[in-house]
Amino acid sequence: MKQKIYTHRVLILLSVISLSICSCKKALETTPYSFFGSENFYSSTAEAEMATLGVYSSASTWAAYGWYIPQVLDNDSDISQISGNSADSWRVIPHYTGIPETDIYSSTWNVLYQGIDRANVVIERIPKMPLYTSGNDQEKAKLNQYLGEAKFLRGFYYSELVRMWGDVPFKTKSSAVGDDIKNPLVDRYKIYEQITKDMLEAAEALPPTSPTSERATKWAAKALLARISLFAGGYSLRADGQMKRPDNYKEYYAVARQQINDIMVSNPYKLNPSYPQVFINQCKHLLEPTESIFEIAFFSLTGGGGETPNSSRVGFWNAPTTAAGVYASTNLRQATIRPFYELFQDGDYRKDFAVARYSINATGNRQYLLTGNGDQNWAPGKWSREYQTNSPTENVNTNINYVVMRYSDLLLIRAEVENELNEGPNSIALDAINQVRRRAYGLNMTGSSIALTVTNGGAGYTANPTIEITGGGGNYASAAVATRTSNRVATLTLNNGGYGYTSAPTVTVTGGNGTGAVITASLVAKPSTTAVDIPTGLNKQQFFDILVDERAKELCFEGLRRADLIRWNLLGTKIAETLVKVRAIRATYPYLAGTNFVVGKHELFPFPQNEMDVNTAITRQNPGWR
């Protein structure tokens, strides 16, 4: 009896235990609640679209276009430099004192490859989706577009890697389990072949519309291919330390010409008649559908100190110094270089718009920095706080898109390509550059800038009175008294002629303890087309030299200058020339690039040490870096 009870107890116990265990396999299944499983992702067009946007989002980071690529890695040049001399990575690299360990190199490198891998996944997975072959027309069209976008972005990201690092690891297959994760360097021209192929295939798949959003279009693919072709056909630093361009470089120019011609047939683009408005619109997050060719989207719901997703530093890191007050503060991080300002001619509205010779005080007023070494603090003016929406989320990070390519860039490329292939400027080249120049001089823009004359010097001015300019429909005209004779206002300094004045504004003179000074404003007549246009009859080199300057004036601070100078093999020359120019201004004018730049080294970035340490398939560092 006792034995029986005992057996019963054991049986009950064992059955409880075994029930509680159930099936082992099921007992160990877990759910990734917060993620999508990779096995069944890409089951709908919506998921394919999310994955495609994931390819874009790599670009929407500080390491890519929010900050580093255009603002850190494209400095210092002959038009701008990073201020200060302390050991921050974002200062060290522009001042040509970075080393392979400097972290920004690996951040940017990694984020571009991250985008490429995401693109590779999309390019592999979409064609395997049942909907890709058996979906309805709408579904097929969508998937085809996503495929095109992925190819476009893969081509774009690779073009950036090749531009900055030369020969790089190259893969068009997504990283997967069991792969050899060490990829050797591949010749940059091999990679350009794939980029060209990707861009052409993208152009076929993408919608032939002008942009309605930050997503790629057919024309963006073609325009970017045109630009990339110029880089492929331009100079680059080879492994032997020499700057060379390919022997067949004109073939690349021909590809560019073909793309531009394709675009021009159904030209969807047009310049905004007002150069300043292009950037004011950027600051206000307005899409410029006819001038903007491709933009990287930035917009973050949250403010805060560090990097929040999709936050931009355009208009924060490259804006005039602003004291906290009416606007949120910015420091001088990117400074312009005075000789660049002096390159502009009078009447060119880009001059005083693009270069801010002022800082902004707490009351929101411009303080012109024209005396002493104030010129060392001139900054890019295109994305000044004054034009921004100044929402509380944009105090440190902004929501300003990075514009990868504008139509004026394409026009100047057209001029360059025609000049090169034609061995001199033809009418297409002249027309292209002149469209840009006419816009710059405001020929189609409403209003003008103003000039001032002292009509009456007044009397009793023991100090300089303040000059205030109001009305007239325009903006930003500013002047100060330059000299007084016998306590009378004698001469003036026009800080800024302003723009957009349709009638002469009112000028009031206050302070200075005197009375009676009268200053009259008048509209400055617009120059004639012929005065603005590039004259005919220039030879190839003359036209090219003009183009070199014109690209600087038109596209300054947009992340292209250093890159352009490298492809023309002019970076060393320009830096040396700039050093001479700034030293002539002042012996202490800081220009670290002038002493630190090394020809045959700094035209390429070093392979990041993080990569070199683990990717043993890379057997050499870029020339000069060790």
| Residue ranges in 353-372 that form contacts with other proteins under rule CB under 8 A | 362, 372
Judged by CB under 8 A, which stretch of 179-187, 225-233, 507-515, 553-561 contacts other proteins?
179-187
- Three-state DSSP state, 186: strand
Distances (CA, A) of 167 to 51, 95, 102, 521: 28, 24, 20, 58
- Three-state DSSP state, 147: helix
Q: Is 100 in the site for other proteins (CB under 8 A)?
A: yes
CA 163 to chain centre: 14
| Residue ranges in 194-233 that form contacts with other proteins under rule CB under 8 A | 212-215
- Spatial distance between the Cα atoms of 174 and 334, rounded to a whole number of angstroms: 37
Q: Is 246 in the site for other proteins (CB under 8 A)?
A: no
Q: Is 241 in the site for other proteins (CB under 8 A)?
A: no
Contact string (CB under 8 A) for other proteins, positions 46-65, x = contact: -x--xxxxxxxx--x-----
Residue of 229, 228, 227, 203 lying closest to 216 (CA atoms):
203
- Spatial distance between the Cα atoms of 622 and 626, rounded to a whole number of angstroms: 8
Q: Give the helix ranges, DSSP H, for 299-426.
A: 338-343, 349-354, 407-421
Report phi then psi at 558, rounded to 5. -100, 15
- The beta strands (E) that lie in 471-621 are given as 478-485, 488-496, 506-510, 515-523
> Among 139, 144, 172, 174, which residue interacts with other proteins (rule: CB under 8 A)?
174
In whole angstroms, the minimum distance from the beta carbon of 309 to other proteins comes to 6
| DSSP symbols for 448-482 | B-EEEEEEEEEE--SSPPEEEEE-TT-B--EEEEE
Looking at the Cβ atoms of 135 and 289, the one nearer to other proteins is 289
Rounded to whole angstroms, the maximal C-alpha distance in the chain is 131
| Residue ranges in 440-459 that form contacts with other proteins under rule CB under 8 A | none
> Among 9, 190, 244, 270, which residue interacts with other proteins (rule: CB under 8 A)?
9
> Among 15, 43, 44, 97, which residue interacts with other proteins (rule: CB under 8 A)?
97
Looking at the Cβ atoms of 335 and 417, the one nearer to other proteins is 335
| Residue ranges in 335-354 that form contacts with other proteins under rule CB under 8 A | none
Looking at the Cβ atoms of 301 and 463, the one nearer to other proteins is 301
Distances (CA, A) of 553 to 227, 353, 549: 18, 11, 6
> Among 229, 321, 384, 496, which residue interacts with other proteins (rule: CB under 8 A)?
321
Q: Is 238 in the site for other proteins (CB under 8 A)?
A: no
The single residue listed with the structure tokens 């800038």 is: 449
- Which two structure tokens, joined as six digits, stand for 340? 């660049």
Beta bridge partners of 506: 470
One-letter amino acid identity for 246? Answer: P
Looking at the Cβ atoms of 182 and 270, the one nearer to other proteins is 182
- Spatial distance between the Cα atoms of 126 and 49, rounded to a whole number of angstroms: 10
> Among 141, 200, 264, 323, which residue interacts with other proteins (rule: CB under 8 A)?
323
> Among 102, 217, 272, 408, which residue interacts with other proteins (rule: CB under 8 A)?
102
| Residue ranges in 605-624 that form contacts with other proteins under rule CB under 8 A | 608-616, 620-621
| Residue ranges in 505-564 that form contacts with other proteins under rule CB under 8 A | none
Judged by CB under 8 A, which stretch of 117-125, 336-344, 485-493, 574-582 contacts other proteins?
117-125
Looking at the Cβ atoms of 356 and 546, the one nearer to other proteins is 356
| Residue ranges in 260-299 that form contacts with other proteins under rule CB under 8 A | 285, 287, 297-299
In whole angstroms, the minimum distance from the beta carbon of 282 to other proteins comes to 12
- Spatial distance between the Cα atoms of 368 and 378, rounded to a whole number of angstroms: 9
| Residue ranges in 570-609 that form contacts with other proteins under rule CB under 8 A | 588, 590, 595-596, 608-609
Spatial neighbors of 98 by CB under 8 A, at least 6 apart, are: 89, 92, 104, 105, 605, 606
> Among 1, 4, 19, 35, which residue interacts with other proteins (rule: CB under 8 A)?
35
> Among 1, 19, 28, 525, which residue interacts with other proteins (rule: CB under 8 A)?
28
Start-to-end CA distance of the chain, whole Å, equals: 89
| CB 62 within 8 Å of CB 68 | yes
Looking at the Cβ atoms of 300 and 336, the one nearer to other proteins is 300
Looking at the Cβ atoms of 190 and 626, the one nearer to other proteins is 626
Looking at the Cβ atoms of 65 and 235, the one nearer to other proteins is 65
How many other C-beta atoms lie within 10 A of the C-beta of residue 55?
Answer: 27
Which DSSP helix (H) or strand (E) runs through 167? none
| Residue ranges in 386-415 that form contacts with other proteins under rule CB under 8 A | 392-393, 395-396, 399
Q: Is 487 in the site for other proteins (CB under 8 A)?
A: no
Judged by CB under 8 A, which stretch of 114-122, 140-148, 405-413, 541-549 contacts other proteins?
114-122
